[in-house]
Amino acid sequence: MGVLLAPSLLAADHARFGEQAQAALATGEHWLHVDVMDGRFVPNLTFGAEVVRALKPLCPEAVFDVHLMVVEPERYIEPFVAAGAHAITVHQEATPHLQRTLAAIREAGCLAGVALNPATPPETLRYVLGDLDLVLVMTVNPGFGGQAFLPSAARKVGELAQLRTEAGASFKISVDGSVNVKTAAGLARDGADVLVAGSAIFNHPEGVAAGVAALREVLGP
């Protein structure tokens, strides 16, 4: 299976979410990445489950990939499931009860993901590998779009691919932060299954379709 692209709505025009989400899906991509920030876990605020609920009828084919950058993420599983999320990712650093939280996400019928801040080692997931469907490697510090890529954090992609093989696990490896035409191909070669891209898609000077096409071109067939 080829690499999936997950356009990140954080970089979309917030006054035209529906239109921009539809433009991203019209390119043939299916995932939509939804960045939820609470002003506590990260120094920025975005939106909540109502955005997924509102987009759902406009984008019935979308896979809503929710990235919770919030403290106490377990409190938000139910509202996002009810709104129509398909994948819910919590931060390893945000909950002391990671296994329970992942189990609750799966129990609710969603893919269960864990995000790793740049300083968090993949080994911290060793004892929850069987509870995971997705690991989100942050290649910037979470909180903002348009930041500089951290190559040290990207090294985790290959390490996770190795850990996955050794453990006989099957989680997807997703990468989030400064995914663009310079970084995408290397990340895919290292083992990324999903590439989250905000600025590279929604801030492309020729529009959303051109942003997706440029990434697809460097990724190859």
Ligand X SMILES: O=C(CO)[C@@H](O)[C@H](O)COP(=O)(O)O
Instruction: Supply the residues annotated as catalytic.
Output: 35, 176
Give the other-Cβ count within 10 Å of 9's Cβ.
26
For position 51 contacting ligand X by CB under 6 A, the verdict is: no
For position 93 contacting ligand X by CB under 6 A, the verdict is: no
CB 115 within 8 A of CB 105: no
Long-range Cβ pairs for the range 115-118 (8 Å, 24+) = 115/67, 115/69, 115/89, 115/90, 115/91, 115/142, 115/176, 116/91, 116/92, 116/156, 117/91, 117/92, 117/93, 117/141, 117/142, 118/150, 118/152, 118/153
- Residues 43-82, one symbol each (x = binds Fe ion by CB under 5 A, - = not), give ------------------------x---------------
* From the list Fe ion, ligand X, none, partner contacted by residue 140 (C-beta under 5 to 8 A by kind): ligand X
141-180 residues near Fe ion, rule: CB under 5 A: 176
* From the list ligand X, Fe ion, none, partner contacted by residue 145 (C-beta under 5 to 8 A by kind): ligand X
Least distance in angstroms from the C-beta of 190 to ligand X: 17
For position 38 contacting Fe ion by CB under 5 A, the verdict is: no
Q: Output the known binding site for substrate.
A: 8, 67, 143-146, 198-199
Backbone dihedral angles phi then psi of residue 82, each to the nearest 5 degrees? -60, -30
* From the list Fe ion, ligand X, none, partner contacted by residue 197 (C-beta under 5 to 8 A by kind): ligand X
- Comparing CB distances to Fe ion, the nearer of 176 and 193 is 176
Number of residues forming the site for Fe ion (CB under 5 A): 3
Query: What tokens were used for 67?
Result: 């990235």
Least distance in angstroms from the C-beta of 110 to ligand X: 18
List, in order, residues 6 or more apart from 4 with CB less than 8 Å away. 29, 30, 31, 193, 194, 195
- Comparing CB distances to ligand X, the nearer of 148 and 221 is 148
From the list 110, 113, 115, the residue with the least C-alpha distance to 81 is 110
Footprint of ligand X (CB under 6 A) = 8, 10-11, 33, 35, 67, 140, 142-147, 176-179, 196-200
